[in-house]
Amino acid sequence: MALTKEQIQNLKEQLSSQIQHLPPEQRKQAQEQIDSLSPEALELMLKQQAQQTQDIFREIINKKIPAVIIDENKFALAVLDINPISPGHAIIIPKSQAKTSMEIPNQALTLAKKISKRIISKLKAKSTEIQTEFKFGEIVINVIPIYEQKLSLSSPRSKASMDELEKIAQKIRPQKRKPKQKEIKKEVPKIESKEILKLQRKIP
């Protein structure tokens, strides 16, 4: 199946993000090679990548591999990216595999917007960048926090430890509401009126 223009663009951006750490001259040469890749070459690369990382998002959905989950609904799961572009970078994975942006359920986008609001509120980000990405054979949604400069999927990434991710997750997970305790009204026992017995005085 031939790749769409959207998939080709996403793949090239993904490859570009992986060369940002290179020295300027090497990065320039690598970028030229990426730009010159034909759709056929990209498709072959994608198939090889899919074989190496087959169903990684499906395994996260089924909770077979560890991930730092921050929220979910019936249609999508939100996790923190282990190679974030900025602190709090989240990925929303549709529970039913989406091959194109059109297949992403509205509920997944709704979840992305909720996560975005929490990131701005709890992590003090100025804004967020919400972008779809074709990765490991399916479409996912990225929510990238913006603190200072503008960022995108092609921006450099950093490695985060599970402990670092968990600390961030604790700030942006939805807070569980404590159930209201019902006030127990204590019944005041009724004092039954007792007849006062008059004792007859004994005559000596």
pLDDT in tens, 32-76: 888 888 888 877 877 766 555 557 899 999 988 889 999 999 999
Predicted pLDDT of residue 37: 83
Residues of the chain with pLDDT under 50: 193, 196-197, 199
Predicted pLDDT of residue 145: 97
CA 45 to CA 39: how far, in whole Å? 10
Nearest Cα residue to 94 out of 105, 83, 80, 85: 105
CA 64 to CA 56: how far, in whole Å? 9
CA 173 to CA 190: how far, in whole Å? 50
The contacts of residue 93 (CB under 8 Å, 6+ apart) are: 57, 60, 61, 76, 77, 78, 79, 140
Predicted pLDDT of residue 53: 55
DSSP 8-class letter at 185: P
Predicted pLDDT of residue 6: 84
List Cα–Cα distances, 78 to 57, 81, 173, 191, in angstroms.
11, 10, 10, 61
DSSP 8-class letter at 54: T
The contacts of residue 12 (CB under 8 Å, 6+ apart) are: 34, 35, 37, 42
Predicted pLDDT of residue 130: 96
The hierarchical CATH code for the domain 55-172 is 3.30.428.10
